[in-house]
Amino acid sequence: MTILGIDLGTTNSAMAYVKNGQPEIIVNARGERTTPSVFQRNVSGELVVGSVAKNQYASLPEQTVLEVKRKMGNAEAIHIGESSYLPEEISAHFLKYLKQSAEDFLGEKVTEAVITVPAYFSDAQRKATKIAGEIAGLKVERILNEPTAAAIAYGYEHQGDEKNIVVYDLGGGTFDVSVVRLDGAQIEVKASAGDNHLGGMDFDRLLVDWLAEQFADQYEVPLFSFGEEVEITQRHARVKLEAENVKKTLSSAQTATFHLPFLAVYEGQPISLDYTITRDEFDDLIGSSIRMTLAHTDKVIVDAGLSVSQIDDVILIGGATRIPLVQQLVEHKFQKTAKKDINPDEAVALGAAVQGEMNNEAFTDETSLMVIDVCPYTLGTDILRVVKGKRESGHFDILIHRNEPLPAVAKKIYHTVNDNQETIDIGVYQGDDEDERVRDDLKITDEPIIVDGIPKNVAGAEKVEIAFHYDVNGLIQIEATILSTGRKITQALDVQRGIMSNRQVKEAKLTLFEDWEKSKLATEMKATIRRAKKIRRHAEPQQAIQIDEAIQHLERVIQEGEAELVKEKEERLLDLLMEIIE
Ligand code: AMP
């Protein structure tokens, strides 16, 4: 049974499997090694994923969803026409597409996967990713950190090496950096850090802003301020796509031109844009972001207890590491050339595939690879402290320190602070080792976990043991025990933060299946509808009305997903067309 390794990226996704002991990329249905993470649902209910959806983005921006990974873990609905989706449902569509492509490629059913996430993803983001897999019909064997996956791919190729490596991963939407020790067959992550809101798409945005400034200087009107709303959305989509092209061009050329013919009509005049930007200007735009990544890099090296000179190899992962300034600054920091024998777009998926096989005996006979990962951030709870004789809430009490090896378990005992106190609220927070106070924006649970049923007693007499379990997937489970009664309260954090329940996942799985069935019908009927519309153009007015009606009937039954009715309505439409032609 093949276990898919899936790199579910912000801008691109990739998948791999292990064949005869070697990880290999699986191409998608179009033969591509990576698939743009772009989803489209057009008016006829057809679902489109990947480069076709990306190519149509500028003309169908309102029916297209991109960069959904940035929204994972927040329960904000995404609307396409009348339909509304949670981020994990859109991700499930990507995964479904990848799963289908893999099944076609391998000629067998695929039901299990290892899916990667940025090391710095929170509990809610990881949980949402796992749920996306389940909605797509995949049992998620493991949620694996992206830089760790890349280190596995590298370590697998360099078995026996004893080295300290840095994996610098700058993708479309996120940045991660890890220090990893390769020691024979052991791959041990020593420290990880990152930023979930820093990546190539932010550089595209800076380029869009740059272009908008040039435009405003020349035309004295903001570029995205005039015209119909739909025109503005389309204009924005075109500029955004062109910005990405310009950024990529600047990786190999000193200048690049935004070429946008007939981008807008202003005061009755069509406007075409041709603005050239130099690589130096681009470097100025992105400089502060890149410096931020280097600050994170310094931090992980210190956290790993190493110095820059002790780093043997530097591995660049993620498409945005093709930017020359990134390479220059990273190489300058380490005073060495980054390793070029690893494909920045594919390493993560390859490593995920290797991880997937790690429990497979046949595979482990060949290699005794062992991977140790860490918790990327500090976890704790908020407590009351007495400061200068006064009670103050909101102090951060750490249970798990960042970079502790996984799985990690930490326990602490807290006591009641009031007489007859019957409940204790546990807030769960992410933070940093240095933080003294909890930060509201880093709260992991919207509502605290309530430990109730504490027997009435004098202040301080009743004790509650709180245990944090942080598993190898980076998911947290909290357990509280009232010591005097032995009552236990176990709470996975799922019910918090609007994460989907099992029942919702089941429903979403069914809806996804139906959506793809309808999409298939819509695709099958496309040619017939196109033909009908063509004949309609030359038909008599009465016949045109009949054709319109027949098309509408057909489209309605497609939306309802009734395959037999669709066939029936299609035949009726075809009969009508025959009559008209005769
Ligand atoms: P990933 O998520 O690793 O696939 O990275 C995708 C990001 O890398 C996107 O923002 C791409 O625009 C960016 N990217 C891909 N190729 C290049 C290139 N040649 N130069 C600059 N950025 C690139």
Q: pLDDT by residue (tens digit) across 495-540?
A: 555 678 889 999 999 999 999 999 999 998 988 999 999 999 888 8
Query: 399 and 418 share a domain?
Result: yes
* Across 95-99, 304-308, 487-491, 562-566, least confident range: 487-491
Q: What is the pLDDT of residue 460?
A: 92
Query: 157 and 192 share a domain?
Result: yes
Q: By percentage, how much of the chain surpasses pLDDT 70?
A: 97
Which tokens sit at 459?
A: 């202040």
Residue 152 lies in a domain: yes
> What CATH number has the domain bearing residue 466?
2.60.34.10
The residues lining ligand 1, judged by C-beta closer than 6 Å to any ligand atom, are 9-12, 171-172, 200-201, 244, 247-248, 251, 318-320, 322-323, 345
Q: What is the pLDDT of residue 174?
A: 94
Q: Note whether 246 and 317 are within 8 A (CB).
A: no
Asked if 7 is an active-site residue, the reply is yes
Q: By percentage, how much of the chain surpasses pLDDT 90?
A: 77
> Model confidence over 338-371: pLDDT tens digits?
998 899 999 999 999 999 998 776 666 656 789 9
CA dist., res. 1 & res. 18, Å (int): 11
* Across 12-26, 231-245, 520-534, least confident range: 520-534
Q: Which of the listed residues 175, 201, 251, 321 should we mutate to test ligand 1's pocket, taking the one with most ligand atoms within 8 A of CB?
A: 251
3-state SS assignment for residue 105: helix
CA dist., res. 509 & res. 292, Å (int): 40
CA dist., res. 350 & res. 34, Å (int): 12
User: For residue 218, is pLDDT > 90?
Assistant: yes
Handedness of CA 279, 285, 287, 289 (dihedral sign): negative
Domain encompassing residue 302: 3-199+287-372
Q: What is the pLDDT of residue 507?
A: 95
Residue 170 lies in a domain: yes
Atom in ligand 1 nearest the alpha carbon of residue 10? 2
Local confidence band at 330 (pLDDT 50, 70, 90 cut-offs): very high
Query: 549 and 488 share a domain?
Result: no
Query: 329 and 409 share a domain?
Result: no
Query: 321 and 416 share a domain?
Result: no
Residue 214 lies in a domain: no
- Which of 350, 372, 394 terminates a domain? The answer is 372
The chain-wide mean pLDDT, for the chain, equals: 92
User: Element (H or E) spanning 264, and its range?
Assistant: strand 255-266
> Model confidence over 375-400: pLDDT tens digits?
988 999 998 888 888 888 889 999 99
Catalytic residue among 88, 123, 169, 188: 169
User: For residue 492, is pLDDT > 60?
Assistant: no
Query: 334 and 387 share a domain?
Result: no
Give the best-scoring range by mean pLDDT among 116-130, 207-221, 386-400, 426-440.
207-221
User: For residue 494, is pLDDT > 80?
Assistant: no
Query: 356 and 484 share a domain?
Result: no
Query: 25 and 156 share a domain?
Result: yes
3-state SS assignment for residue 155: helix
Q: What is the pLDDT of residue 367?
A: 63
Domain count across the chain: 3
User: For residue 493, is pLDDT > 60?
Assistant: no
> What CATH number has the domain bearing residue 45?
3.30.420.40
Q: What is the pLDDT of residue 160?
A: 86
- Which of 459, 474, 492 terminates a domain? The answer is 492
Query: 367 and 382 share a domain?
Result: no
Query: 43 and 176 share a domain?
Result: yes
Query: 364 and 404 share a domain?
Result: no
Local confidence band at 419 (pLDDT 50, 70, 90 cut-offs): very high
Instruction: Give the Cβ contact number of residue 119 at 10 Å.
Output: 31
Residue 405 lies in a domain: yes
Which tokens sit at 492?
A: 């996975």
Residue 265 lies in a domain: no
Residue 465 lies in a domain: yes
Average pLDDT of the segment spanning 441-467: 88
Q: Which value, to the nearest 10 degrees, does the dihedral of the CA atoms of residues 237, 243, 245, 246 take?
A: 160
Residue 205 lies in a domain: no
Q: Note whether 181 and 51 are within 8 A (CB).
A: no
Distance 250 CA to ligand 1 centre (A): 12
Query: 388 and 366 share a domain?
Result: no
- Which of 328, 345, 372 terminates a domain? The answer is 372
Q: Which of the listed residues 6, 10, 13 should we mutate to test ligand 1's pocket, taking the one with most ligand atoms within 8 A of CB?
A: 10
Q: Which of the listed residues 51, 146, 323 should we mutate to test ligand 1's pocket, taking the one with most ligand atoms within 8 A of CB?
A: 323
Q: What is the pLDDT of residue 223?
A: 96
Residue 246 lies in a domain: no
- What's the one-letter identity of residue 169? D
Distance 123 CA to ligand 1 centre (A): 26
pTM, full prediction: 0.93
Local confidence band at 491 (pLDDT 50, 70, 90 cut-offs): low
* Residues sharing a CB contact under 8 Å with residue 359, sequence separation 6 or more, in sequence order: none
Asked if 404 is an active-site residue, the reply is no
Q: What is the pLDDT of residue 366?
A: 59
Q: What is the DSSP letter of 58?
A: T
Residue of 353 and 73 predicted with greater confidence:
353
Q: What is the pLDDT of residue 97?
A: 97
